[in-house]
Amino acid sequence: MNTKTILGISLTAAFAVSLIFAQNAFAGIDNDWLVVTDSDVEANGNNVLYSAITLADIPHVDDDRLLGVLDSGYPVAGFAWLDVDTSSLSTINFAGATIHPEVVDSRQNPDNWHPHTGELIIVEDQANDLILCVNSLESPHAGIAINGDQIRMNMKANSATVLPDEDEGATGFFLQVNDDCPNPTDVDLPGNGLKPNIVSPPLPGLEVIAWPPAG
């Protein structure tokens, strides 16, 4: 596997302020499961296989470590594999494995781990700080397997937004609502209905708070 640090100089500036607030909010909560120590993106026949290893076992939906994060005002957590071209950071493609049981935005396993792809952008907020925002969001189908401290996501190549041999890296992350991000977030969801009697509302502006990889 390839260990890559995704927080280059420009990205570090974008994450720094939010990360301070996140660390304070998560005081006393074990977030080692979101610290990526190793990651890879590789071809798997007609699919793309995303994988990551973390410092601790990755929780499922009823785990107190996850619930502690979601109850701290950060309703979405997950892992993102990023196409980070440091020569052009205007947009960043991502493929993510996410969990957010209180926010319905997918027809595939919406209450537990499920995939998303899309685009991130760096914007300047009202305090003139750089922040990382979700610019667009899609809900492709993919298989996700968690085994202890390893997560693997197998996605059709024609749905993949981050491909092998690109400048990819992986990070754990949280999302929080921030009106300085594009609002509403552009969403492309498959199908007409998500759950019986539930229609996905327009999503608000979403800020990404990356949990830095180790190493």
pLDDT tens per residue across span 34-43:
889 999 999 9
Spell 103-137 as b/e; 16+ CB within 10 A means b.
bbbbbbebeebbbbbbbbbbbebeeeebbbbbbbb
* 172 within domain boundaries: yes
Sign of CA dihedral 197, 60, 82, 9: positive
Closest CA to 159 of 186, 134, 138: 138
Model pLDDT, residue 87:
58
Kindly give the residue spans of alpha helices, DSSP state H, lying in the chain: 9-25, 64-70
The model's pTM is 0.81
Tell me which residue has tokens 């537990």. Answer: 112
* 110 within domain boundaries: yes
Sign of CA dihedral 85, 211, 114, 201: negative
Domain range for 92:
9-211
Distance CA 32, CA 142 (A): 25
* 124 within domain boundaries: yes
Tell me which residue has tokens 């197998």. Answer: 154
- Number of structural domains (the chain) is 1
pLDDT per position as a tens digit, 184-211: 676 766 544 455 444 556 678 888 888 7
pLDDT per position as a tens digit, 3-45: 444 444 455 544 444 444 455 455 455 678 888 999 999 999 9
Distances (CA, A) of 15 to 22, 61, 97, 192: 10, 26, 20, 35
* 1 within domain boundaries: no
Distance CA 54, CA 73 (A): 23
